[in-house]
Homo-oligomer: A and B are copies of this chain.
Amino acid sequence: VSAIHRAAIFAVGSELLTPSRVDTNSLFITEQLNLLGIDVVLKLVVGDDRDELARAFRLARERVSLVVFSGGLGPTDDDVTREVVAGVLGRPLAEDEGITAALRARFLARGFPPPMPENNRRQAMVPAGARVITNANGSAPGLWIDDAANVTVLLPGPPRELKPMLTALVSGPLKERFAGAALVRRVLRIAGRIESQTDEALEPLYRGWEKSTPPVSATILAALGQIELDLSVRTESRAEADRMLAAASSEVEAVLGEDVFTTRGETLEQVVGELLVARGLRIALAESCTGGLVTSRLTDVPGSSRYLVESVVTYSNESKTANLGVDPALIATYGAVSDQVARAMAAGVRQRARVEVGVGVTGIAGPDGGSAEKPVGTVVVAVDMPHEVHSRTFRFIGERQQVKFQASQSALDMLRRMLRRGT
């Protein structure tokens, strides 16, 4: 097995240190590096600050064999990546006349009158011994600097410039320099369990996977309404990786049963859609507290018009009666948030739309409307199918949007389990 190469990714730009902007280039860079089996072990976001950038770059170089920068290659004084990297590596910058000529031509071609602004010539400065990477979609060329121990790659920040440049590197010089065993991933998702219990249940599997050749790595992560288990294998053979990940997935399913809703990275709404198609069933929904979110998630799936016929969002008691035929006496006796009303909503929308599956969701999303008996976060879901009617009350914690999301997740998961059992 070849050595595992390790990489660090820098995103440079003071705008990435404000409350409104997040670095997303690193996701694409990670995906591309993983294709060559390169592990990303560190990501850093640094402002347009020479001193901070130099210190962080020195630390990263000690730890990895590849450093990829995005951003900070523009023409202004704020753009410091080129100078800082050249300084740390002790390689003097010199103007590349070829780049300057190309920049002038680009300016003319875009209809700007000469002379080109002087500050654009900063983009033609190249550290001694660096290889220039052509940028087909912008003015800043990229740079590749190969020392004995490290490779440093500088790419511009705009994604449509960065992406083709990196893709070219991955199929060319990066592959030649670093190609190893690819890191192949698989995402499993689990509903209806809590993280610590799931982790404990899977502990014996982890120990087995660690000892296998090649080992299977696992990372567990709790998200709102679901748990994600990421499995990965590093191997030269894609077929071997797929075989090992399929076997590991089966082991997880043997332990967790139908709580595993996907072993192929699907969303819950995709899984529910596939089950509806497989069983030839159509669905209609009556939503109250979720305000259309369950339907919106179901319709995020391409082709969902094959099974989703219609939905009604009934945001008042009158609307539940007028649209779904919910008996006002039921609401008066049991309250709008009750098994009885959820079931009547599910039956009502099913009948009205003339479909096989009806869903009713009613609850208190908050922040107001809770009581001692039915606090904010109380949600009742009912599913009405040909041979089975099921309703369940949940108590969710969190703010309005989190209650809405968890309610939608639980409604979809109830549907999934009932559709799987195939009554």
Cα distance A199–B400 in the bound complex, in angstroms: 35
Q: Is A94 an interface residue (CB 8 A)?
A: no
Interface 1/0s, chain A 307-333, versus B by CB < 8 A?
A: 011111111100100010000000000
With A292-B299, A296-B291, A353-B319 already in contact, the answer to whether A402 and B160 are too (CB < 8 A) is yes
A367 at the interface (CB under 8 A from B): yes
The answer on a CB contact under 8 Å between B52 and A41 is yes
Tell me whether A295 and B291 are in contact (CB under 8 A): yes
Cross-chain contact B323 with A314 (CB below 8 angstroms): no
Cβ of A117: which chain B residues have Cβ within 8 Å of it? 196-197, 200
Q: For the complex formed, measure the closest distance between the CB of A152 and the CB atoms of chain B, giving whole angstroms.
A: 18
Within 8 A of B (CB), among A13-64: 13-24, 26-28, 30-31, 34, 39-49, 52, 55-56, 59, 63
A199 near B17 (CB under 8 angstroms)?
A: no
Which B residues are CB-close (under 8 A) to A63? Answer: 52, 55
Q: Which residues of B contact A196 (CB under 8 A)?
A: 74-76, 117, 119-120, 139
Stretch at the interface among A81-89, A220-228, A242-250, A273-281: A220-228
Q: Are A17 and B30 in contact (CB under 8 A)?
A: yes
Verify if A168 is at the interface (C-beta below 8 Å from B). no
Say whether B59 contacts A185, CB under 8 Å. Answer: no
- Cβ of A34: which chain B residues have Cβ within 8 Å of it? 19
A171 close to B (CB within 8 Å): no
CB under 8 Å from chain B, chain A span 170-225: 185, 187, 194-197, 199-200, 219-222, 224
Bound form: Cα–Cα A308–B291 in Å: 10
Checking B15, B44, B313, B365 against A228 with a beta-carbon cut-off of 8 angstroms, the contacting residue is B15
Q: Is the CB of A308 within 8 A of B303?
A: no
Per the 8 Å Cβ criterion, residues 372-401 of A in contact with B are: 397-401
A257 part of interface (Cβ distance < 8 Å): no
A43: B residues at CB distance < 8 A: 16-17, 44-45
**Contact of A219 (CB < 8 Å), options: B15, B230, B304:** B15
| Closest B residue to A399 using CB positions | B160
How many residues on chain A are close to B (CB under 8 Å)? 101
Q: A119-B199, A398-B137 are in contact. Are A40 and B24 (CB under 8 A)?
A: no
Contact of A197 among B49, B112, B300 (CB under 8 A): B112
C-alpha spacing A102/B56, complex, angstroms? 40
The answer to whether A76 touches B310 (Cβ under 8 A) is no
Smallest beta-carbon distance A308→chain B, Å = 5
Copies in the complex: 2
Inter-chain contacts of A19 with B (CB < 8 A): 27-28, 30-31, 34, 185, 230
- In the bound assembly, the distance between CA atoms of A285 and B312 in angstroms comes to 10
Chain B residues with CB under 8 A of A237:
none
- The answer, yes or no, to whether A78 is at the interface (CB within 8 Å) is yes
Contacts of A110 in B (CB 8 A): 194
- Inter-chain contacts of A187 with B (CB < 8 A): 20
CB-defined contacts of A22 to chain B, threshold 8 Å: 22-24, 26-27
Q: Which of B21, B46, B200, B401 contacts A42 (CB 8 A)?
A: B46
In-complex Cβ contact of A300 among B220, B291, B308 (8 A): B291
Residues of B within 8 A of A400 (CB): 300, 302
Given contacts A19-B30, A185-B18, contact A292 B287 (CB under 8 A): yes
> Is A347 an interface position by the 8 A CB rule?
no
A293 at the binding interface (Cβ < 8 Å): yes
14 contacts between A and B (CB under 8 A): A41-B52, A55-B63, A59-B59, A75-B196, A78-B220, A112-B194, A137-B398, A160-B402, A291-B295, A291-B296, A292-B292, A310-B316, A310-B319, A311-B315
Besides the known contacts A112-B197, A292-B311, 4 further A-B residue pairs in the complex with CB atoms under 8 A apart = A43-B45, A55-B63, A117-B200, A302-B367
